[in-house]
Structure 1
């Protein structure tokens, strides 16, 4: 009969943290791309289900904006760059791990939003101009948040 090896002492968790689990962090570029593709497909499928003569276009636009904003906030919280520590939470204003990423994403959102705005104004009879302007405003605010996050990250790395 052998004597079992002694167990290492267990350090008790602080009060109120016994239900906490490790945070979910996505570091792989391919998983990030997959997240964006799945979000886009799921959001479009859900919105396609909402299109019917009984539901006003305003509801469609609001649901789409809420889905998009939720996906962006969730992505900003769980995505991490290769150079970031995965455990501590980011500051509330930080949307990307590196400044360049925020500038690129903000620029892409701006260009895409402006292109959609211009294409919608070319055919004003088939779109609601108020919704187009509201959507442009929301998208440009998101793009501004990404650019602002990158500017703050640059200041923090220089200090």
Structure 2
């Protein structure tokens, strides 16, 4: 496990690749469980754990431009800079709010052909709670970095473009 946490991903292309692979792995695992008739509660829990694990590992190994690469991040630090943490926190607040709306619709048992195929209530609740937890973590990270005076350097050197 220590070797995995020593890995660092700095380039955005590899960060996108990591996210895509993590999503595909989670998708394959969940669909394999569904294919073997695993109870929905177990499928939901495995889905939440794989997503949480992918986020936790990504937060530990991703590095921002200008951020020290070698030392491990403090447990509370979710991104390289407070601005990105704040933006991601707001994004997850929106996702959690949409989840609350989705749960309310499910609880109201509104009949609609548009709602056919929507995830089960447990999946909605789990996703909403996970989004809310991520919002709290990202906003806490932004707040703590700001309080500690961690700011993104004004200007990173721009690469020279030819043509």
* Bin of the TM-score, shorter chain as denominator length: 0.7 to 0.9
Structure 1 residue 120: deviation in Å?
A: 4.9
Structure 1 residue 115: deviation in Å?
A: 2.2
Partner of residue 62, structure 2: 79
TM-score w.r.t. the length of structure 2 is: 0.74
Larger gyration radius, structure 1 or structure 2: 1
TM-score w.r.t. the length of structure 1 is: 0.75
Structure 1 residue 131: deviation in Å?
A: 4.6
Aligned partner of 1:45 among 28, 42, 52 = 28
Structure 1 residue 111: deviation in Å?
A: 1.8
Secondary structure of the residue that 2:74 maps to in structure 1?
Answer: coil
Are residues 1:69 and 2:55 paired? no
Aligned partner of 1:143 among 106, 125, 135 = 135
5+ long unaligned stretches in structure 2: 110-117, 151-163
Aligned partner of 1:109 among 92, 103, 120 = 92
Q: How many residue pairs end up in the alignment? A: 141
- RMSD between superposed Cα atoms in Å: 2.8
RCO comparison, higher one (Cα < 8 Å, 6+): 2
5+ long unaligned stretches in structure 1: 1-19
CA distance in 1, matches of 2:4, 2:23: 28
Partner of residue 98, structure 1: 81
